[in-house]
Amino acid sequence: MSDVLLRARDVKKDFTLRGGVAGRRTVHAVTGVSLDVRRGETLGIVGESGCGKSTLARCLVRLLPVTSGSVEFGGVELTKLSRRKLRPIRRQIQLIFQDPYASLNPRRRVGEIVADPLRVHKVGDDASIRERVAELFSVVGLDPAFRNRYPHEFSGGQRQRIGIARALALNPSLIVADEPVSALDVSVQAQVLNLMADLQEKFSLTYVFIAHDLGVVRHVSDRVAVMYLGEVVELAEAEQLYDAPLHPYTEALLSVSPELDEGDGPTRERIVLSGDVPDPLNRPEGCSFHPRCPVAQPRCAAERPALVELAPDRFVACHFPRNLAALRSESGRAETGPEPAPPGDPRAATSN
Amino acid sequence: MGALAVLVLVIVVCLLAPVYAGSVAHVDPFPSNLQGTTIVHGRVTPVLQSNHQGLGLGVTPIGPTWDIHHYFLGADNQGRDVFARLLYGGRTSLLIGSTSALLCCVLAALLGLMAGYFGGPIDWVLSRLFDIVWAFPIYLLAISLSVVLLTSGLQIGFIHIGAGSLLLPIIIIAIVYVPYVARPLRGLVLSLREREFIQAAIGVGASDWRILRREILPNALPSVIVFFPLMVALDMLTESALSFLSIGVQPPSASWGTIINDGLGLLYTRPMVAIAPGLMIVITAVSLNLLGDGVRDALDPKAKLRGSI
């Protein structure tokens, strides 16, 4: 598929914890994620804190080495590239970080921070870099005269704009934004989100947008992946996912999200999940969601469901998907019943 | 700024020691001067006076005359002008203190940054080296090194440092304090490395060298600079202790440490001999510390508005 910019297959990331009475223990932070990011789209990734979405983001851009699996960017396998060979690809992939207070070096002037990518990749001489920095400042809506100030002289929203300017400096094609607005005030969130949307149009950017706020993700995403405990449990186009969630976890998340009840549709019944996200050190057998799932069956505790495509572009990892009626009437092509079809698509490949 | 003024005053006065000795007091502060005389209240007076009390044995050097031209702070038991020696000693002490602190901070910054940033085997090896140095009591290590090096000198490749050179105490004092600076720096770098702006630099594709220089060093430098005056003070004290044990500055050269040593035997009769260099060390150390705080505030972009000291 030529329109796939970033292709992740069965990405796993383990962390080894040392010390303590138990000695070495392994945390499976990401357990076999497969997804495609298409050129020009915004793929939202949502999940509770600790579900591995930030780890996944860092694995996708190789800020962290993956434990296993593959990440292809524009047809090039990233996971095994040497640092030197990775450098030209780094120009294409940029990051926006969650905390605008931590992501800017407090002891460097913001103009230097924004110029950094240009200097690292030796793009142009000093004069043209200065010009480009001024241009980037205007693009993100900051006065270029601010370039000689230090990060602490800016508000959170302005800092995030600086972070965005840095990410744009090298004209990347993919921007991975790790909760870019969750540290900001609600009023500022909208401004930054609109800026990101404008920039996407202007520079034909592709976004991977990570958030824990379903409202924010719905606002910006074309497709949405829902993560739970290190795996993708549902992946669909945003509207479909919000209208008729297939996975019980997605359904529960949507039902407790306050902003989403205001539509003309029937008010959702609130599904409050009991308990917390399980400790990734003690992952439940079978479906990792079954201890909290309101519709769990004995099979869920025994067998881990694979991520399968129930209808075109509707992936779910559940033995007993919800809202199947809606799915049928909506697409008219949902031949598969509650029993998932054997995985035919490579995206369905899920670890055991 | 008061601290800086005091410090500059001390340095300038000490640098002017030859001028004072040659043109103001007309004394030579190094050879002993047992038969010397000076003028007190217009009368010629020997600098060493026979005791009149008790058994009347031995001699006592004259005390402070408070006359800037004639033995301002009195004489030591060799009949030498204490004030002139104080100035000369200050030159030596400041020189050894500042150069060894500089050497120590540079070495420690280099090693601490490398250990903290690269981690893994590099960190392990460097940390164990710090542990080894740290495991010895400072003075025991310094004394051992001094005893070996001061008898034979130091030969590294082409470089030969003679046994009497001031470089030897400088190097010895610098090395024994490296772990005390490098350890906290390593910890600082460990925490800096987890910050998102380092991740951002890695994501941009910056080299390790660039990250160390542009991202980590500017954040670690204020700590080094705050350490520096502290280390100057500490190194001066170490130098004094080594000189006291005759393995630092070699007589007849003076340092504040050797003068305190000279004053030890006169503590009951002429306390000024020991008190004056002690006071100088205190004044210098305190102003160095205050200066360090001031520099830290000046370097912190968030503290621009804070008043100066």
Structure token pair of residue A117: 């990518």
Partners of A210 in beta bridges: A45, A178
Is A94 within 8 Å of B195 when comparing Cβ atoms? no
Query: Tell me: the pLDDT tens digits for A101-137?
Result: 889 998 899 999 999 999 999 888 889 999 999 999 9
Partners of A225 in beta bridges: A45, A235
Query: Tell me: the pLDDT tens digits for B180-220?
Result: 999 999 999 999 988 889 988 988 888 899 999 999 998 89
* Domain-located, residue B165: yes
Ramachandran class of B260: left when φ > 0, alpha when ψ lies in -120 to 50, beta otherwise: alpha
Arithmetic mean of pLDDT over chain A:
83
Query: Tell me: the pLDDT tens digits for A42-71?
Result: 999 998 887 888 889 889 988 888 899 999
Contacts of A102 in chain B (CB under 8 A): 195-197
In terms of residue numbers, what domain contains B244? 91-255
* Domain-located, residue B178: yes
DSSP A170: T
The answer to whether the CB of A103 falls within 8 A of the CB of B197 is: yes
- In this prediction, residues B24-42 reach a mean pLDDT of 76
* Domain-located, residue B153: yes
**How open is the CA angle B241-B285-B127, to the nearest 5 degrees?**
70
Q: How confident is the model at residue B54 (pLDDT cuts 50, 70, 90)?
A: low
Cα–Cα nearest to A161, from A142, A175, A188, A135: A142
C-alpha torsion sign, points A213, A214, A220, A225: positive
DSSP B211: I
Contacts of A98 in chain B (CB under 8 A): 196
Domain CATH code at residue B166: 1.10.3720.10
What pLDDT does residue A19 have? 62
Structure token pair of residue B200: 């951002």
Is A105 within 8 Å of B197 when comparing Cβ atoms? yes
What is the number of structural domains in chain B? 1
Which of A86, A93, A105 to mutate to test binding with chain B, by most B CBs within 10 Å of its CB?
Answer: A105
Arithmetic mean of pLDDT over chain B:
83
Tell me, rounded to whole angstroms, the distance of Cα B244 from its chain centroid: 14
The answer to whether the CB of A346 falls within 8 A of the CB of A69 is: no
C-alpha to C-alpha distance for A232 and A8, rounded to whole angstroms: 12
Shortest Cα–Cα distance, A91 to chain B (Å): 7
* Domain-located, residue B271: no
What pLDDT does residue A215 have? 83
Shortest Cα–Cα distance, B1 to chain A (Å): 24
C-alpha to C-alpha distance for B183 and B189, rounded to whole angstroms: 10
C-alpha dist (Å) from residue B114 to A145, A348, B181, B202: 36, 44, 13, 17
Q: How confident is the model at residue A343 (pLDDT cuts 50, 70, 90)?
A: very low
Contacts of A107 in chain B (CB under 8 A): 218-219, 301
* Domain-located, residue B12: no
Q: How many residues does chain A have?
A: 352
Query: Tell me: the pLDDT tens digits for B81-101?
Result: 888 888 898 898 899 999 999
β-bridge pairing A206-211 and A42-46: parallel
Complex prediction ipTM: 0.78
The Cβ of residue B12 has, within 10 Å, a number of other Cβ atoms equal to 9
Q: How confident is the model at residue A338 (pLDDT cuts 50, 70, 90)?
A: very low
What pLDDT does residue A351 have? 42
* Domain-located, residue B39: no
Question: Is the pLDDT at A333 greater than 50, yes or no?
Answer: no
What pLDDT does residue A329 have? 60
What pLDDT does residue B53 have? 66
Establish whether the linkage from the previous residue to B252 is cis, with ω within 30° of 0.
yes
The answer to whether the CB of A89 falls within 8 A of the CB of A75 is: no
Question: Tokens 């008043």 appear where?
Answer: B307
Predicted TM-score (pTM) of this structure: 0.77
Is B203 within 8 Å of A99 when comparing Cβ atoms? no
C-alpha torsion sign, points B270, B271, B277, B283: negative
Q: How large a percentage of chain B has pLDDT more than 70?
A: 93
Cα–Cα nearest to A89, from B201, B209, B203: B203
β-bridge pairing A76-77 and A25-38: unpaired
Cα–Cα nearest to B18, from B85, B76, B74: B85
Which of B189, B196, B207, B223 to mutate to test binding with chain A, by most A CBs within 10 Å of its CB?
Answer: B196
Sheet (strand A93-96) strand order: A93-96, A174-178, A206-211, A42-46, A223-228, A231-237, A314-316, A308-311
* Domain-located, residue B285: no
* Domain-located, residue B127: yes
C-alpha to C-alpha distance for A159 and A89, rounded to whole angstroms: 26
Cα–Cα nearest to B263, from B92, B61, B56: B61
